[in-house]
Amino acid sequence: MTDVVILGLGYVGLPLAREAVHAGASVCGYDVNEAVVANLNAGRSHVDDLTDAEVAEMRAGGFTATTDETEIASAATAVICVPTPLSEDGGPDLTAVEAATRAVARNLRPGMLVILESTTYPGTTDEIVRPLLEASGLRAGVDFHLAFSPERIDPGNSQFGPRNTPKVVGGHTPACADLAVSFYGRFVDTVVRTKGTREAEMAKLLENTYRHVNIALVNEMARFCHQLGIDLWDVIRAASSKPFGFQAFYPGPGVGGHCIPIDPNYLSHNVRAKLGYPFRFVELAQEINATMPDYVVRRAQDILNDAGLAANGSSILMLGVTYKPDIADQRESPAVPLARLLDGLGAKLSYHDPYVDRWDCLGGTVPRVEDLHTAVAEADLVILVQGHRAYDVDQLAGQAKRFFDTRGVTTVDTAHRL
């Protein structure tokens, strides 16, 4: 008998598997990607937060990866950690969740605990997952246990990981919640119990909607503060001195990653579909954040125009193309729409990123510069899109003809800041 099978071995499932292995649990990882499974079994990692050595350590602790779904039947607990991207209509694409749930249903045994971790809209566990599982003939809360526990992985965060980030858990029944709390309690320091699965589902959406709306607020402030001649970065620094009632958010060239650009849309879509009216805060925030690449391009054009240059034919170097600093993750990175807009204006684009050796964008590969300092000095405009710690931004700004800092990390007067 295996303690747990984790379905989906990406940025969520693999760190979860590592914590379970460290707690002494026997863990099997299931994934439909044969290359991922083969690499993990060979001790090779494909996510930023785990090194090859850590995967090898997991293997030594008994972790195995498989594409054989029949292995699910041997587990006491099955945790679904598959992606939920946006569908064409703006709601969550539950294709992977449904496929994983059907795989569990085909191997469901009496007494098994099934937990969904994939982010989705309130009601998914009860309205989508439960009926698929109960097609096996077993009943949730009677013959097997069912719960929802939203993933809270923050890739690249060295301070908070799966163990010390509190785990929210909502059960289909109180007994289901008891079992899920006990399961996570083996390797998570704090488990927070909700009234049910819908409350747990909504908690994750509230977290990211809160961030989404506040990022949109400072993004809009960045636009009018620039026009008013106000240094918004200095404003945020000053406001942050208040020890209560304020949390700092920062503007940028757009929002990226697996949560902020996507999760609030699940909620907005669900409100429209079920209640028939818009979630106006979310939709306005989405509009503001989605247009930040356009704003950055307009600012870039202004900087070039002031020097008597047009974007068409100018050499523009983009620094940092990942969605957050100091990791290789490019999911939903604002660098992509920014590059498309600049390319559409006829700019000669190149990029540098210490974590990305090849950047496939614009229907092909954008040239990567190898000699960073020479490229910075020669470009007509350098745009800092992501502020990796590896960059000495003030030095680079001093070397550049024109330097546009979209992250507010430069301190020299020669840099243009968002």
The helix (run of H) or strand (run of E) holding residue 410 is none
CA nearest neighbour of 147 among 176, 110, 112, 105: 176
The 10s digit of each residue's pLDDT in 127-142 is 999 999 999 999 999 9
Report the pLDDT value the prediction gives residue 80, as an integer from 0 to 100: 98
Query: Which candidate in 28, 176, 225, 259 is catalytic?
Result: 259
Separation of alpha carbons 302 and 289, rounded Å: 21
More confident call, 44 vs 87: 44
Separation of alpha carbons 384 and 376, rounded Å: 11
Do residues 106 and 78 make contact, with C-beta atoms less than 8 angstroms apart? no
pLDDT surpassing 70 at residue 376 = yes
SS3 48: coil
The 10s digit of each residue's pLDDT in 277-325 is 888 888 888 899 999 999 999 999 999 999 999 999 999 999 999 988 9
CA nearest neighbour of 184 among 124, 109, 115: 115
Report the pLDDT value the prediction gives residue 269, as an integer from 0 to 100: 74
Percent of all residues in the chain with a pLDDT value above 90, rounded to a whole number: 79
Q: Which CATH architecture has domain 2-196?
A: 3-Layer(aba) Sandwich (3.40)
Residue where the block lists tokens 């660098």: 335
Domain ranges in the chain? 2-196, 217-417
The 10s digit of each residue's pLDDT in 188-215 is 999 999 999 999 999 999 998 899 999 9
Report the pLDDT value the prediction gives residue 259, as an integer from 0 to 100: 65
Average pLDDT over residues 248-269: 78
Report the pLDDT value the prediction gives residue 310, as an integer from 0 to 100: 97
Cβ neighbours, 10 Å, residue 170: 25
pLDDT surpassing 90 at residue 181 = yes
Burial 131-145 (b: 16+ CB within 10 A, else e): ebbbebebebeebbb
- Tell me if 2-196 shares its fold with 217-417: yes
CATH 3.40.50.720 for domain 217-417: yes
Is 28 labeled as catalytic in the residue annotation? no
Report the pLDDT value the prediction gives residue 268, as an integer from 0 to 100: 77
Q: What is the mean pLDDT of the chain?
A: 93
Report the pLDDT value the prediction gives residue 186, as an integer from 0 to 100: 95
Helices (H), 276-344: 280-290, 292-306, 335-344
